Structure formats: structure tokens, C-alpha cells
Amino acid sequence: MKKFSRKRNAILGALRASKEHPTAEMLYAQLKPEYPDLSLGTVYRNLAMFKEEGTALSVGVVDGQERFDGWTEPHSHFICEGCGSVSDIECKAGDGLCEAVSERFGVRATRYELTFRGLCAACMKS
């Protein structure tokens, strides 16, 4: 039976409140002041749990660190190759895409990720 935990709650809250698609370290750094005895391992453990149960999802690994997203509605992402920032992209391009792929390739595709790469507005200036 899964029990309540104040820290787990705080981690999920911080993840959902963030728009920067944070890494485990970012969440840890952000929560550490309020929870001085928080441990990085706990952040990793809970993020893995969220991902497993679908409460959160992974945007992928950017510059060697996994980025997480607390917004689970279908949407796309833009990753800046200059500064590594990740932002949301509204893009309702592909309803029925999974069905089409599943049928055509003999698999069961349950979801897809559409990720754009390039330079963000800030990095375009430099």
C-alpha cells in the first residue's frame, strides 16, 4: 500500500509548478532550502515512481541529464541546442498517428513524442 509523504508531495508540486522541465538536481536545489534534510536519492526515487505510474513523464536526456515534465497532457517540446532549455510547444498535429503506425508496422504504439531542436530566441542573438 502506498503511503503519503510530505516530500513526495513537494517534489510533485515543484515539478508541476515549473515550466523549465527540470532535472532531478534542479528540483533538489529548489526544494533543499525548505526541506533541509531532503536527499537527492529521494528525488530520483520519486521521479522514477512518477514516471512509472504516469504522474509525470520524461522529456528525454539533454546534455547528459534527464528532463522531466509534470504536465501530462499530450504536447510537444522544443529543445534549444545552445543553452539546453526545454519549452512546451502546443501541437495537436497527430491524432490517429499511433493507430496508423500500429497498423502499418505491426506494433502497438501507445504514444509518441514530437521534439523540435534549434535555437531559442535568447540564443539566436549570440
Partner DNA sequence: GTCTGTGCAAATTGTTTGCACGCAA
Partner DNA sequence: TTGCGTGCAAACAATTTGCACAGAC
- Applying CB under 8 A, which residues contact its own copies? 60-61, 78, 80, 87, 89, 91, 93-94, 97-98, 101-102, 105-121, 124
Residue 72 binds: one of its own copies, DNA, none (C-beta under 5 to 8 A by kind): none
Say how far apart CA 90 and CA 15 lie, in whole Å: 19
| Nearer of residues 30 and 123 to its own copies, judged by Cβ | 123
Grid cell of 11 as nine digits: 517534489
Residue 13 binds: one of DNA, its own copies, none (C-beta under 5 to 8 A by kind): none
Contact present, 116 and 77 (Cβ < 8 Å): yes
Q: Which residues, 6 or more positions from 15, have their beta carbon under 8 angstroms from its beta carbon?
A: 22, 27, 47, 50, 56, 68, 69, 70
Residue ranges in contact with DNA by CB under 7 A: 1-8, 23-25, 35, 37-42, 44-46, 48, 61, 64-66
